[in-house]
Structure 1
Amino acid sequence: MSVQQTAVVAEIQRRIRDNSDGDAIETVDGVLSYREFGRRVEGFATRLATLCAPGEFIGIEAARTSGSVVAMVGALLAGRPFVFIDPRDSVDSNTTKVSSLGIRWVVRGSAPSDVPALVPAPAEWRGDTAGRHRWAPDDVALHRGSIGYAIHTSGSTGEPKCVLVRAGSLARMVGDHVRALELDTASRTLQFARLTFDGCITEILWTLTAGACLVVLGEEHLTPGAVLRGTLEKFRVTHLKTTPFALTATEPTTAMSLRHVINGGGACRQAVVRKWAAAAAFHNAYGLTETTVCNFLSRPLDPDDCTEAVPLGAVVGDCGFDVLPLTAADGDDAARSRGTRGELVITGESVAIGYLTPQGLRPFVDGDANRVYRTGDIVEVRDGEVFFVERLDRQLKVRGFRLDPGEIEAAACRLTGVAEAVVTAEPHTRADDVAEDALVCYYLGAATAREVRAHLDAVLDPYKVPSVIHQVDALPYTRNGKVDRDALRAGRRSPADTGGPVTAEDRVLDWVRRLTGVTDVRLDDNFYDIGGDSASTVVLVDVLKGLGWMEVGVRDVLRAENLRVLVDRLPGQGA
C-alpha cells in the first residue's frame, strides 16, 4: 500500500473488504464486483509504481469504461497524479497537456468492462519532444506527493487553464456528500459528467467510498430527454447529479428509483425544483474546478421555500468563504447599500494548488500565503443563505445602467410559466456598428411574452425590465453544456417567414414584434406597454419613414395612443 494513499482510497479499500460481493461498477457488458474491482485497482497501482516515478503524471483517456475508473482510483492509490484526456479534442490541445505535465504513459480506451491498458503516450500527442519542455518542473516538484490530479478548464476566458488539485482535499468533500445524500451499499449512481469535467470526481468517489454501485454508460445513453429518462428507469439509478439543461429537458416518472437528484454546473431554476422535488430529494450544488469540485450543497429543497430564488446550500469540504463588497463600478447602488451582494471568495484547504502555466505555477494564495480563490461569481447573502446572482464578467451596461443579467433571469423564472431564462444585451437591428442598447430576455416555458413582461414590471426596477422578451422552443447549448448566446441572437434575427409582410400595416406589426418579442402584436397595443423604449423608438421611426411618413419624429411615437394611430398616418392608410 503506497505511503501516498489518500483517505479517500483508504475508504474505498475498506469497502472492497467489507462489501466484496457487492456491485462496484455496472456497464452495458455486465457488473464488476468490489472484489474484482479491488483486484484490478491493486494490479494497476502496482504496475504504475513500477513504470512511473512518485509524483509523475499519467494520462487517462476519457472513455466511459470501468477501466477509466480503475485507472483513476489506482493512480490515487499509487500516488501518481492523473489527467483525463479526450481523444476527440484537437491534437494541439492534447499535445499541450501531455508535454506540459511530462506524461510518458497513457491509459488507452477499451471495451466497457476491460482491464485498463497502460501504454506509452501516443506519438501524435508527444509532439516535438526535443523542442518541448515540462512547464516549470521545479514549481511542480514542490508539491510532489500532494497532487491528486490536473484538470483543464477554459472558465470564462476561452483559453484552457491547467489546474493542479491536491488529493488530500478530496476526503472531507466526498464524505460530506456521502452523508448528505444518504449513500449506502444499495445506492446506484449514474456517472453522468464527462470525464474531462471535474464533476465526475464526485460522482465516482462518493459512490465507491459508500460501497455503492457506479453505473457507467456511453454518451448514447445519456442524452437529456427520453433517452436519459429510459436510462434512469432501466438501470434503477438512485443518485443523479446533472446539469440544469438535462433536468429541464427530462421528465421524472414513477418507474424511476431515484432517491436524490442534484443540480450542478449552472444556476438552478424554480421550475426544476418543483418538477424534481416531487420525484426525489432534490439538492442544489455549487463549486469550481479551482476549489476542488464542490463547495456548497443544499439540504433537500422544498419548492415552497424557493419561490424567490434557489439557495446554494451549506458549505461542504474543507473550506470557508468570504463575500467581497462590490465597488461602485461593479453593481447597482441598491445592491451595495444592502451590503449583501459581492464577489464570492473561497478560502481554506479545498482551494487548489494553482494554475500551471508556461511561465510557472500561479498559486492560489494571498499576500500572507493563505489559500484563497476569487471565483468571479456575484452572490447575495440573505437570511444567512447564499444565492448565486451572476458572473462578474457577464455584467451588462445598457442605456447607462450596469446590470446583472442573472438577477433578471432569476426574476423571470419566478413566474410559474417560465422554466428557464437567458438575458443578453444586443442591438435592436442587425447592423454591426449599432450599440447593444436592447436588453433581451429569451425564455423557455408556456407563459406568453405579455405575461412575462407584466411579471417583470411588477418585481423589477423599470430600468431592469428587458425591452425584448422572446419565447423560444428550446435553448441552444455549447459542447460544454453552457447556453449558446450567439445562437440565440442569430435565431432571433433570422427572418420569421419567407414571403415577408406585404402591407404597410403588416410591416409595422412585424417590426414591433422584432423590437419587443411579443408575437401577438395588435394595432390596439400601445408601443411602450409591450416593451418599446427609447432605442427601439428610434428604430420604429426609421421604419415609418421608410414606409413614406417622412416627417415622422420620436414625439409622434411617444404621443400615439396605440399602433393604429401610427399606421393610420402612413400614406394611403387613412387619416
Structure 2
Amino acid sequence: MIIETGLWGGTVDPPCVLASFERSLNLRPWALAVADSEHQLTYQDLSVWIARITDLLHEAGVRAGDTVAVTGRRSAAIVAAAWAVIGAGATYLPLDTNFPHKRLAYMLAETGAKLLLHTGPDPELPAPRRAQIPAWSDVDRQTGPALAFVPCTPDAPVYVIYTSGSTGNPKGVALPHSCIDNMAHWQRHHSVHQDLRTAQFAPLNFDIWFQETLSTLGGGGSLVVMPEELRQDPIELLDWLARERIERLFLPCVALHMLATAATAFDSLAGLALREINTAGEQLVCTPAIKEFFQRLPECGLNNHYGQSESHTVSAHTLAGPSNAWPALAPIGLPLPGCEILLDTDEAGESHVGELLVAGAPLALGYLNQPELNAQRYVTIPPTAHGHTRAFRTGDLASVDNGVLHFLGRTDDEVKIRGYRVNPLEVEACLGRQPGVVEAICVPVNLGAGSRQLRGAVTVAAGTEFDAAAALAALREELPWYAIPPSISVLPSMPRTSSGKADRAAIARLLAPGDRSAVAADAGER
C-alpha cells in the first residue's frame, strides 16, 4: 500500500440532526414541513405525530440502542416514524416490501430488530413485535405527549441499510451520527437556501432518502413526497415538479438523463421553480440533453455528489459557467468538511492516480457481523496529516488534477487493451455525444486466452437510425486507436441493476462474441 496525501475538506463541528429539527420547529412551527397526497403538515403537526409514535416505541419497550424496522410506501407517515425512531436513540432500519420475503427476514434477524412499524396491512414479516404506525387522523393533537428527543452521541448509529453481498446475502452497513450529522449540516449550507421546497424522490431504503429528509427538515424547508408512479414517467414528473413548485431535487444520474431527455418535448420550462439538482450514483456524463436542459433553466444549478453506502456523501462538485461548456465527464470535486481523501497509488503505478480511500467524518461504523470484510475494507493506515488512522477502501479508481477529484471507474473494472489503460467512461462520453444516442456504455469482453477487447453499446431515440460509421469516425477523431471499440451494438434497452445503474456485467455478456441479441456495426480493422 502506497498512500498518497489527497484532499482535506477542513474542520467541522456539526450539530446533531435532532437539534437541527428542533431548531426548525422552534423557528417555523407553522411552516409546511412535509406533504404527500393525503397530508399537508406543519412542523408543529409533524412534531405531534413524531411524539405519538415515540410514545408507541416506549410502550413496545424500545430503548436507545435497539433497532426498529419501518416499512410501507413513501409517505409523511414514514417520515414521522423515521424521526421518532432516531429521536428515541434507536437505530432505524428501512425495509422495502418489494424485496423478497426471505431477504427482508434476513435483515430483521441480523439486526435483531425489536419492533417492525408499518403502514397499511400487516406485512407478516418475522419480527418479535409488529405495530401499525398511528394514522395522523387518530393522533390527539391537543393532549398528546410532548416531543422529547434523547441526546445523541457521535458513535451512536442512526440507521442501517443493506447493499448487495457477494455471498448471496445482503451486507448491512451502520451509519453513525458523526457521518449523518456532518452530511446533513453540509447539505443545508451547500444548497442555495436551507429552507428549499424539496422533492422526496428516493426509495426509503436508499441513503439519499436521508439526505433529502434530514437536510430539508433540519433547515426549515418543505419535503414533498413524489407519487411513486412518476418514477418511470419523466414527462409526468416534469409536470408534477412544476405544479408543486419544487426547488430542490436529488436524482440518480440515470433519472437526471431521463428527465433532461423528456424535457426536449416541452416548448418551455418556465413553469419549473427548480433552483438546484443534486445527482449521484455513478459517473455523471453531461450529455447534450443535460446541457440543453440547464441552458433552458439558467437559475438552476447542478451538483455532482460522490459517496457510498459505507460513507454516504464524500465529495461534491458544482458545474459552473454556461452548460454548453461543461466537461463531458463531470469531476467529483472536493471533499466535504471533516473528510480526508487519500489515494493508494500502489496498483496504479502513477502519481495522483489510485484507489480512493475515505477517512474522517463520513465513515460508517462498518458492516454488521462481517469482521473479515471489515478488515479488508475498513483498513488501518499510518497517521495522516490530519490524524486519521482508519480509512475505507472504496474500490474506486480516482485521480487528482489541480486539486479536484476525478472518478476513473472501479479498480476491478480497470481495462487494459494491448498494454494501454483505457477509461471506458471517456469512450462512453464520446459515444453519448453522437446524434440520436440516448445512452452509451463501453465494456471489455473476454475473447479467450487472456485476451480482451472493447465493445460499445447504445440505445437511440425512437424513430432514429443510428449511423455507426459516423459514430466510429467521431471516436477516431477524439480517442487513441486502442480505445476504439471494434463494434457498436444498438440495444432496445440497457440492462439495469436493481438500483437503476447500467448492468455492465449483463451488457458484457450480451456483447460477447457469439451473442446475436444485439445489432452490431463493425468498426473495421485498423
TM range (shorter): 0.7 to 0.9
Are the equivalent residues in 1 in contact too, given 2:250–2:277 (CA < 8 A)?
Answer: yes
Are the equivalent residues in 2 in contact too, given 1:286–1:294 (CA < 8 A)?
Answer: yes
Deviation string 1:342-382 (CA, Å, 9 cap, x unpaired) is: 11111102111111126689373415682310100111211
Which has more strand, going by share of residues? Answer: 2
Residue 301 of structure 1: SS of its match in structure 2? Answer: coil
Equivalent of 1:391, from 406, 410, 414? 410
**Does residue 1:440 correspond to 2:455, yes or no?**
yes
Q: Tell me the residue number matched to 1:137.
A: none
Structure 2: which 5+ residue stretches go unaligned?
1-13, 130-152, 264-268, 383-387
Kindly state the Cα deviation for residue 450 of structure 1 after the two structures are TM-superposed: 2.5
Are the equivalent residues in 2 in contact too, given 1:164–1:356 (CA < 8 A)?
Answer: yes
Q: Tell me the residue number matched to 2:367.
A: 355
Are the equivalent residues in 2 in contact too, given 1:379–1:388 (CA < 8 A)?
Answer: yes
**Does residue 1:274 correspond to 2:291, yes or no?**
yes
Q: In 1, distance between residues paired with 2:106 and 2:366?
A: 17
Q: Tell me the residue number matched to 2:275.
A: 259
Kindly state the Cα deviation for residue 151 of structure 1 after the two structures are TM-superposed: 0.8
Q: 1:423 to 1:157 in 2, by over 3 A?
A: farther
Q: Tell me the residue number matched to 1:475.
A: 494
Q: 1:494 to 1:233 in 2, by over 3 A?
A: farther
Q: Tell me the residue number matched to 2:66.
A: 56
Are the equivalent residues in 2 in contact too, given 1:340–1:380 (CA < 8 A)?
Answer: yes
Residue 46 of structure 2: SS of its match in structure 1? Answer: helix
Q: 1:341 to 1:495 in 2, by over 3 A?
A: closer
Residue 310 of structure 2: SS of its match in structure 1? Answer: helix
Residue 20 of structure 1: SS of its match in structure 2? Answer: coil
Kindly state the Cα deviation for residue 444 of structure 1 after the two structures are TM-superposed: 4.2
Q: Which moved more, 1:14-23 or 1:393-402?
A: 393-402
Structure 1: which 5+ residue stretches go unaligned?
112-118, 128-142, 331-335, 497-512, 519-529, 534-575
Q: In 2, distance between residues paired with 1:326 and 1:35?
A: 55
Are the equivalent residues in 2 in contact too, given 1:169–1:318 (CA < 8 A)?
Answer: no
Are the equivalent residues in 1 in contact too, given 2:198–2:249 (CA < 8 A)?
Answer: yes
Equivalent of 2:56, from 32, 38, 47? 47
Counterpart residue type for residue 394 of structure 1: D
Q: In 2, distance between residues paired with 1:54 and 1:495?
A: 54
Q: Which moved more, 1:148-157 or 1:359-368?
A: 359-368
> Cα RMSD (Å) of the superposition?
3.1
Q: Tell me the residue number matched to 2:308.
A: 288
Counterpart residue type for residue 91 of structure 2: P
Q: 1:74 to 1:190 in 2, by over 3 A?
A: same
Residue 443 of structure 1: SS of its match in structure 2? Answer: strand
Q: Tell me the residue number matched to 1:405.
A: 424
Q: Tell me the residue number matched to 1:140.
A: none
Equivalent of 2:380, from 348, 366, 370? 366
* Higher RCO structure, 1 or 2 (CA under 8 Å, sep 6+): 2
Q: Tell me the residue number matched to 1:37.
A: 46
Q: In 2, distance between residues paired with 1:436 and 1:194?
A: 40
Counterpart residue type for residue 93 of structure 2: V
Q: In 2, distance between residues paired with 1:94 and 1:473?
A: 33
How many residue pairs were aligned?
463
Are the equivalent residues in 2 in contact too, given 1:54–1:144 (CA < 8 A)?
Answer: no
Greater Cα radius of gyration, structure 1 or 2: 1
Residue 357 of structure 1: SS of its match in structure 2? Answer: coil
Q: Tell me the residue number matched to 1:554.
A: none
Q: 1:256 to 1:473 in 2, by over 3 A?
A: farther
Q: In 1, distance between residues paired with 2:315 and 2:372?
A: 30
Are the equivalent residues in 2 in contact too, given 1:242–1:264 (CA < 8 A)?
Answer: yes
Equivalent of 1:466, from 469, 474, 485? 485
Are the equivalent residues in 2 in contact too, given 1:12–1:209 (CA < 8 A)?
Answer: yes
Residue 163 of structure 1: SS of its match in structure 2? Answer: strand
Are the equivalent residues in 2 in contact too, given 1:222–1:231 (CA < 8 A)?
Answer: no
Kindly state the Cα deviation for residue 26 of structure 1 after the two structures are TM-superposed: 0.9
Kindly state the Cα deviation for residue 297 of structure 1 after the two structures are TM-superposed: 1.8
Deviation string 1:142-171 (CA, Å, 9 cap, x unpaired) is: x99611111111178865211111023222
Q: TM-score, normalised by structure 2?
A: 0.79
The correspondence of residues 285-364 of structure 1 with structure 2, limited to 5 A, is 285-291=305-311, 293-302=312-321, 303-327=323-347, 336-337=349-350, 339-357=351-369, 362=374, 364=378
Q: Tell me the residue number matched to 1:564.
A: none
Are the equivalent residues in 1 in contact too, given 2:154–2:176 (CA < 8 A)?
Answer: no
Q: In 2, distance between residues paired with 1:125 and 1:91?
A: 12
Q: In 1, distance between residues paired with 2:371 and 2:334?
A: 37
Q: 1:436 to 1:30 in 2, by over 3 A?
A: farther
Q: Tell me the residue number matched to 2:184.
A: 174
Q: In 1, distance between residues paired with 2:238 and 2:305?
A: 22
Q: In 1, distance between residues paired with 2:233 and 2:83?
A: 28
Deviation string 1:268-320 (CA, Å, 9 cap, x unpaired) is: 112164134222111111111111x2111222433355335311122225211
Deviation string 1:49-107 (CA, Å, 9 cap, x unpaired) is: 44212200000115201111111111121111111112221222111111111112111
Q: 1:359 to 1:382 in 2, by over 3 A?
A: closer
Are the equivalent residues in 2 in contact too, given 1:349–1:371 (CA < 8 A)?
Answer: no
Q: In 1, distance between residues paired with 2:373 and 2:446?
A: 41
Q: Which moved more, 1:436-445 or 1:214-223?
A: 436-445
Q: Tell me the residue number matched to 1:547.
A: none
Q: 1:246 to 1:145 in 2, by over 3 A?
A: closer
Q: Which moved more, 1:306-315 or 1:481-490?
A: 481-490
Q: In 2, distance between residues paired with 1:362 and 1:489?
A: 30
Kindly state the Cα deviation for residue 234 of structure 1 after the two structures are TM-superposed: 2.3
Kindly state the Cα deviation for residue 471 of structure 1 after the two structures are TM-superposed: 3.8
Tell me the percent identity: 24
The correspondence of residues 63-102 of structure 1 with structure 2, limited to 5 A, is 63-102=73-112
The correspondence of residues 228-247 of structure 1 with structure 2, limited to 5 A, is 228-247=237-256
Deviation string 1:205-241 (CA, Å, 9 cap, x unpaired) is: 1110111111113421222422322221222211111
Counterpart residue type for residue 223 of structure 1: Q
Kindly state the Cα deviation for residue 495 of structure 1 after the two structures are TM-superposed: 5.8
Kindly state the Cα deviation for residue 532 of structure 1 after the two structures are TM-superposed: 3.1
Equivalent of 1:220, from 224, 229, 232? 229
Deviation string 1:371-403 (CA, Å, 9 cap, x unpaired) is: 310100111211221111101122235556554
Are the equivalent residues in 1 in contact too, given 2:201–2:250 (CA < 8 A)?
Answer: yes
Residue 295 of structure 1: SS of its match in structure 2? Answer: strand
Are the equivalent residues in 1 in contact too, given 2:257–2:290 (CA < 8 A)?
Answer: no
Q: Tell me the residue number matched to 1:196.
A: 205
Residue 374 of structure 2: SS of its match in structure 1? Answer: strand
Are the equivalent residues in 2 in contact too, given 1:183–1:207 (CA < 8 A)?
Answer: no
Q: In 2, distance between residues paired with 1:241 and 1:435?
A: 42
Q: Give the ranges of 4+ consecutive aligned residues of structure 1 lying more than 6 Å apart after TM superposition.
A: 155-158, 433-436
Residue 217 of structure 2: SS of its match in structure 1? Answer: helix
Which has more helix, going by share of residues? Answer: 1
Q: In 2, distance between residues paired with 1:350 and 1:437?
A: 37
Q: TM-score, normalised by structure 1?
A: 0.73
Q: Which moved more, 1:382-391 or 1:214-223?
A: 214-223
Are the equivalent residues in 1 in contact too, given 2:160–2:173 (CA < 8 A)?
Answer: yes
